[in-house]
Amino acid sequence: MTGPPDDCLVRNEWICGDYLSTRREILGDAVVQHLELTGASVALALLLALPLAIAARRWRWAAGPVLGITTLLYTIPALAMFSLLLPVYGLSAALVVAGLVLYSLTLLVRNLLAGLRAVPQETRQAARGLGYGPIRLLLAVELPLALPAAMAGLRIATVSAVSLVTIGAIVGHGGLGNLIYSGMNTYFKAQVLTASVLCVVIAVAADLLLLGAQRLLTPWTRGRAA
């Protein structure tokens, strides 16, 4: 014989330990999907943002169009963005990733460009005097000095992506957002609260990890702050 169901589920309480124990696999799958969508979108956005920022830094005429277009993309509401991309990607995870990539571009391009522009001109001239070519100058001097600003943008873009992934629930690919939306439709309190808290935990953990990576990659900033 099986015992009666746990009271907290019967009473539909917000905090229910039995929900965690009985839905562990569902929660785990949702967390994994959330992390995959976030990681893929931010990584692809970074790959696109870097050459755009470099082009905007190297050619002044390119800065206006690059910043203008990425800013325009950021102003499009999420539901409208997904609707515009729907004919291309259909109801798939790629639709969510593509939308998040476009949203992340503004944050990443602006911070990368700000970091590159902040590199002192005398530093560039000194590197050229030592025989640095354009590529070596970029990789060995400009990008390392632009790293603090770039990491700041990456942190903001990542936290934003963690939040925006939940909207992907409208096409069935929202990670924890799937649980939040289905829980809201059925007024399943424990599910809504648990999935929401996990979203916050992922965002905070991602931000702390990136902050730690930033401190490791830019030790000179720690010395300056001290």
pLDDT tens digits, one per residue of 63-119: 788 888 888 888 888 888 888 888 888 888 889 899 899 888 888 998 988 888 888
Could you give the C-alpha distances from 171 to 65, 89, 96, in angstroms and in order? 32, 11, 8
pTM above 0.85, yes or no: no
Measured between alpha carbons, how far is 161 from 14 in angstroms, rounded to an integer? Answer: 26
pLDDT of residue 8: 73
pLDDT of residue 201: 93
Measured between alpha carbons, how far is 153 from 168 in angstroms, rounded to an integer? Answer: 23
Name which residue leads in pLDDT, 144 or 206.
Answer: 206
pLDDT tens digits, one per residue of 179-193: 888 888 888 777 888
Share the mean pLDDT of the chain: 83
pLDDT of residue 68: 87
Confidence class of residue 34 from pLDDT cuts 50, 70 and 90? very high
Contact 113, 49 (CB under 8 A): no
- Architecture in CATH for domain 7-217: Orthogonal Bundle (1.10)
Name which residue leads in pLDDT, 145 or 7.
Answer: 145
Task: Output Rg (C-alpha) for the chain, integer angstroms.
Answer: 22
Quote the percentage of the chain above a pLDDT of 70.
93
pLDDT of residue 122: 81
pLDDT of residue 48: 92
